Amino acid sequence: MKGYSVKYYRLLMMLTQSKVDGTYLKTLQSLAKTELLNIDDWGLEPLKAVQRNDLMELMDDRHGNASTIMLSQLPTEQWHQSIGDNTIADAILDRLMHNAHRLKLKGESMRKTRSSLTDGEHLG
15 belongs to a structural domain: yes
112 belongs to a structural domain: yes
Predicted confidence at residue 124, as pLDDT, reads 53
Predicted confidence at residue 33, as pLDDT, reads 87
110 belongs to a structural domain: yes
Predicted confidence at residue 99, as pLDDT, reads 84
For the chain, the domain total comes to 1
Predicted confidence at residue 103, as pLDDT, reads 83
| Residues lower than pLDDT 50 in the chain | none
Rounded Cα–Cα distance for residues 64 and 32 (Å): 11
1 belongs to a structural domain: no
Domain hosting 43: range is 6-121
11 belongs to a structural domain: yes
CATH code: domain of residue 10: 3.40.50.300
43 belongs to a structural domain: yes
Predicted confidence at residue 49, as pLDDT, reads 93
97 belongs to a structural domain: yes
pTM here is 0.76
CB 85, CB 122: distance < 8 Å: no
CB 70, CB 96: distance < 8 Å: yes
Helix and strand numbers, DSSP H then E, in the chain = 6, 3
